[in-house]
Structure 1
Amino acid sequence: MSGESENASGGEPELRGVDIARRALEEARAAAKASGKAVGQGRSSPKPRARVTGRRGWSGSGPDGRDPQPLGALTNAVAKSRGWSARVTEGTVFGRWAQVVGEDIATHAEPVALRDGVLAVSAESTAWATQLRLMQGQILAKIAAAVGDGVVTSLRITGPTAPSWRKGERHIRGRGPRDTYG
């Protein structure tokens, strides 16, 4: 014997694994040939298959709804469905300020508040506040490109605040500090 056990009912060796599959394929081909169809020989119909909508067995090479999604896309979908998209875009202006306006501007100015489309920006010096006022149109265009039109409609740029000379609870109204240094 060659290592194969013989079937008790006949003289045929017992089939295992690949041999069973091979025999089933041969029987299917023979049955298809008898009925006039060829199995495994490609499509005989020249018309294209209609795309099956809904759930398929495998995602294949194309994108599918079941494929992993970027976290940003999922959070945007959640924010949109819950009505948070306006607040998220406002947060984007503050959170990505350096990427939106550029590193040079971001090191000398920072956003303070955003109310009704007006972004309050505080500059570190009066010279930078003046420069930012001259660049206001360019800054608004950069913000609109990053977060969309209509989120920020105008800028209110302020310089640094002056020190307060008001000390204590009681003070006298008047002109403020005068030439008391000499």
Structure 2
Amino acid sequence: MTDESSDHSAGYEVARRALEQARAEAKAAGKQVGHGRSGPIRSSAGGGRDRKRRRWSGSGPDSRDPQPLGRLTGAVAQSRGWSSKISEGTVFASWTTVVGADIAAHAEPTSLADGVLYVQAESTAWATQLRYMQSQILARIADAVGNGVVRSLRITGPSAPSWRKGPLHVSGRGPRDTYG
């Protein structure tokens, strides 16, 4: 066992002496001895002009690397002026996540025009409640899709049933007119 340990220490000593000798020779020749990366490449034929090393992609990000699909589609949409339409579509697509499942179960957006989002509630009670919560809903929408996409809400209750039946009908109030 002592023979093996002496072989290892002897090998270590030989390597350490070789490294020290190489450093001493480099220092005597005027070369900089240091640890880590070397500096710029010096050209002896170029009149002492410094050229920097060429950088390759390696493990770092580069414009030649594959890009995520979302980033590319976002760039295409922005270059073609589709960003506002995509933001409007996001309001409809993510309505449940923006306003919450409870509100989304009782109200749905119907249209968006000129910054006004039209919302139809399932009852007049829900329409009234949503009107009270209008500023909170607008803040949630602004957080989700950005400011200026939706500037105000128009909240309506359910539509009344139509009394117009068939192609021929008489103008007037309809069935409520018979007791008048």
Q: What is the CA distance between 1:175 and its match in structure 2?
A: 1.9
Cα distance change, pair 136–174 in 1 and its aligned pair in 2 (3 A)? same
Aligned to 1:37: 31
Q: Which deviations, in whole Å up to 9, do the C-alpha atoms of 1:37-62 show, x marking residues without a partner? A: 156754688xxxxxx8xx831344x5
Cα distance change, pair 59–127 in 1 and its aligned pair in 2 (3 A)? farther
3-state SS of paired residue (1:113): strand
Please give the root-mean-square deviation of Cα atoms over the aligned residues, in Å.
Answer: 3.2
The answer to whether the aligner puts 1:136 opposite 2:130 as a matched pair is no
The AA in structure 2 aligned to 1:99 is T
What pairs with 1:18-57 in structure 2 (closer than 5 Å)? 35-38=29-32, 41-42=35-36, 56-57=55-56
Aligned to 1:80: 78
Structure 1 residue runs of 5 or longer lacking an equivalent are 1-27, 46-51
The answer to whether the aligner puts 1:159 opposite 2:157 as a matched pair is yes
Aligned to 2:94: 96
3-state SS of paired residue (1:105): helix
Cα distance change, pair 103–69 in 1 and its aligned pair in 2 (3 A)? farther
Q: What is the CA distance between 1:35 and its match in structure 2?
A: 3.9
Q: Which is richer in helix?
A: 2
Aligned to 1:112: 110
What is the count of residue pairs matched by the alignment? 145
The AA in structure 2 aligned to 1:36 is G
Supply the distance in 2 between the matched residues of 1:128 and 1:59 (Cα, whole angstroms): 58
Supply the distance in 1 between the matched residues of 2:38 and 2:85 (Cα, whole angstroms): 57
Q: What is the CA distance between 1:65 and its match in structure 2?
A: 3.8
The AA in structure 1 aligned to 2:56 is G
Q: TM-score, normalised by structure 1?
A: 0.67
Supply the distance in 1 between the matched residues of 2:168 and 2:126 (Cα, whole angstroms): 35
Cα distance change, pair 59–120 in 1 and its aligned pair in 2 (3 A)? farther
Identity %: 72
Equivalent pair of 1:59/1:66 in contact (CA under 8 Å): no
Supply the distance in 2 between the matched residues of 1:77 and 1:107 (Cα, whole angstroms): 34
Select which of 163, 166, 172 maps to 2:170: 172
Supply the distance in 2 between the matched residues of 1:149 and 1:116 (Cα, whole angstroms): 13
Supply the distance in 1 between the matched residues of 2:35 and 2:151 (Cα, whole angstroms): 65
Select which of 136, 139, 147 maps to 1:149: 147
